[in-house]
Structure 1
Amino acid sequence: MADVLAPRPSTPWVLSSPALLLFIGILLVPLGLTALLSFNVFDGMRGIQPSYTLHNYVEILTDSYYHQIFIRTGLMALGVTALCVILGVPETLILARMQAPWRGLFLVVILGPLLISVVVRTLGWSILLGSQGMVNTALQRLGVVDEPVRFLFSMLGVVIALTHVFVPFMVIAVWSALQKLDPQVEHAGRSLGATASTSFRRVVFPQLLPGVLSGSIIVFALAASAFATPSIIGGRRVKVVATATYDEFLNSMNWPLGAAIAVLLLIANVVIIVGCNRMLERRFKQVFAS
């Protein structure tokens, strides 16, 4: 009877096959076709040719124009990630110390941007950051600036809008790590004579670090590949990898070059994510070893 009820070795594969086929169909196949397209030859008069070449990758890797675009995208993603850490970690700590019903109310407020379309959010920020928008009006009335600050069509405006979009992801990641933290650990540090800042820096924050790193991975990957916000807020002045890919596909009609840019962005994201995962693994090993 036990042999009849015992699962067969193929049972896990059979049960997971629908999700696996869906994953292959909507992710791996398009990625594979995009990678294959990136090697096609493109002719301005005849379009995409059936022959293959490395010219698209050589052009991207040797042209300073694309170097600037990738560097700008990386710096933008790093800036957004840093701001999300600076804003998201304190928000999560304050949220964890709130009592019901305020905790639930403020959690909805923090996660609210995820409930609205990214295009709607970005259009809202374009109104707020305009030369006659609420932000510039407030700065001028407070005497901070004499003239309107150019937020639109600038990297500053793009970083501000992307930070608003991605802070909830940081809060969620840190919140999950905070739920595993024993509050008595912080009280123990305080009882042994540590100040509040020392207790947070040496006791609380190291245990939140895996959540911070996980949130940073998510935010960096999403910010580096963001399209709608840089396109609307940055316009033609702020060219990033996603908008450059869009231009090659729909403006220049050079699909192989656009596919090569997308593949290189994917490779860069994977390298960064794998590197951060290694950091997480080392951190977990240190925690478990201690």
Structure 2
Amino acid sequence: MRTVRSKLLIALLLAPAVLISMVMIAAIATTLGISFLRQFPGDLQVTLANYIAFLSQPFLLKAAYQTMALGLVVTAICVVLGYPVAWFLVKRDTRFRNAVFLIVLAPLLVSIVVRTVGWIIILGNEGLMNALLISLGVIDSSLQLMRSFWTVVVGLVHVLLPFMILSIASVLSKIDDDVIEAAMLLGARPATAFLKITLPMSMQGVAAGSIIVFALTIGTYLTPIWLGRGNVNVLAISIHEQALISVEWPAAATSAVLLTIMALVFMAIFLASIRRMTRR
């Protein structure tokens, strides 16, 4: 009787995951199928023309390049900025730790729309930054602080940095301090103990945070279109235009499939690199 109940409980717990997985698989299969159609809805003729058209359009290739570059840059900056903060939250027992923790969580309590509008207010032509520089006499006229790749990077780092910090902190908290103390008693310097023990043991947190940040970055739409103002075109924007403005569903499906493939390839390469680093 207990066995039947335990199996029923497991089935009930797995049911939502199975349902969500089936929906995701169906969505991916549908998108993949539409990408091989010449027209949808309508003619169901199978063709590779959509993929050939994607690879022959410099605009879409540039969007793909900017998407991957944005993902890599934002992820790298989040790792560099997030690791010290995560280490401080876990390893430092000071009265400022709770305040820093609240600062880390604060961006997650605000909508991404509000945060992006905040950066527009700060970096706009008549924003706070230009007003401050003009009042100090540093510049005579407003600087074009928006409409650039790095403006979008700043906005996305602000949005996604908490995910990196929390991912790394969760792994750092599981590292036994006695291991590091033993290494230092055996003659290891603090820097050596960090590079040989702490960093390799925390790479799982770095990997988890990097995958989250990279995946969210390459799929972002709002921040590039608001802060980039048309100068930073990513595949999410192109897919939106193809699907809802041009109503070219096969072309949009092709862009989505290629974006997914590129993301999986980059993640596989990254995870392979992480495994090599941890083995060393």
Contact 1:170 1:219 in 2 (8 A): yes
Deviation string 1:65-108 (CA, Å, 9 cap, x unpaired) is: 22211111111111111110111011111222444764333212
189-198 vs 66-75, greater mean Cα deviation: 189-198
User: 1:230 is paired with a residue of what secondary structure?
Assistant: helix
- Equivalent residue number for residue 19 of structure 2: 21
1:51 aligns to 2:48 (yes or no): no
How far apart are the structure 2 equivalents of 1:143 and 1:85?
A: 36
Which segment drifts farther, 216-225 or 189-198? 189-198
Tell me the CA shift for residue 242 of structure 1. 0.5
The AA in structure 1 aligned to 2:18 is L
1:189 offset after TM fit, Å?
4.0
> Contact 2:243/2:252 (CA < 8 Å) preserved in 1?
yes
Which AA in structure 2 matches 1:85? V
**Unaligned 5+ runs, structure 1:** none
Decide whether aligned partners of structure 1 residues 78 and 22 sit closer, same or farther in structure 2, where only a CA change above 3 A counts. Answer: closer
- Counterpart of 1:32 (choices 22, 29, 40) is 29
Give yes or no for contact 2:200–2:277 (8 Å, CA) kept in 1: no
User: Does structure 1 conserve the Cα–Cα contact (< 8 Å) formed by 2:54 and 2:61?
Assistant: yes
Q: Indicate which of 73, 76, 80 corresponds to 1:79.
A: 73
- For residue 154 of structure 2, the aligned residue among 141, 157, 160 is 160
What CA RMSD, in Å, does the superposition of the two structures yield over aligned residues?
A: 2.8
Give me the whole-angstrom Cα distance separating, in 1, the residues matched to 2:204 and 2:136.
40
Residue deviations 1:37-73, cap 9 Å, x none?
A: 2222239xxx753323211111112322222111111
Q: Which segments of 5 or more consecutive residues in structure 2 lack a partner in the other structure?
A: none
**Which residue of 113, 121, 126 maps to 2:107?**
113
The partner residue of 1:230 within 224, 234, 246 is 224
Q: What is the distance in 2 between the residues matched to 1:134 and 1:185? A: 49
Looking at structure 2, the residues matched to 133 and 187 of structure 1 have their Cα atoms a distance apart, in angstroms, of 50
Deviations 1:7-46 (A, max 9, x none): 5997545652343123323x22222222222222239xxx
Percent identity, please: 34
**Cα distance in 1 for residues equivalent to 2:218 and 2:211:** 11
Give the 3 Å change call, closer, same or farther, for CA 215–22 of structure 1 in structure 2.
closer
- Give distance in 1, aligned partners of 2:69 and 2:33: 29
The Cα of 1:224 is off from its aligned counterpart by 0.9
After superposing the two structures, state which structure 1 stretch, 132-141 or 197-206, moved more.
Answer: 132-141
Q: So what's the TM-score if we normalise by structure 2? A: 0.87
Aligned-pair CA distance for 1:239: 0.7
Map of 1:213 onto structure 2: 207
Structure 1 170/15 Cα, relative in aligned 2: closer, same or farther at 3 Å? closer
TM score, norm. by length of structure 1: 0.84
Say yes or no: does 1:182 pair with 2:176: yes
Matched AA of 2:266: I
Following the alignment from structure 1 to structure 2, what is the Cα–Cα distance between the partners of residues 77 and 247? Answer: 21
Alignment check: 8 A CA contact 2:221 2:237 kept: yes
SS in 2 for 1:50: coil
Displacement of 1:179 in angstroms is 1.0
CA positional deviation for 1:153: 1.4
- The answer as to whether partners of 1:80 and 1:162 remain within 8 angstroms in 2 is yes
Q: Deviations over 1:223-263 (max 9, x none)?
A: 11111101111121211110111111122121210111011
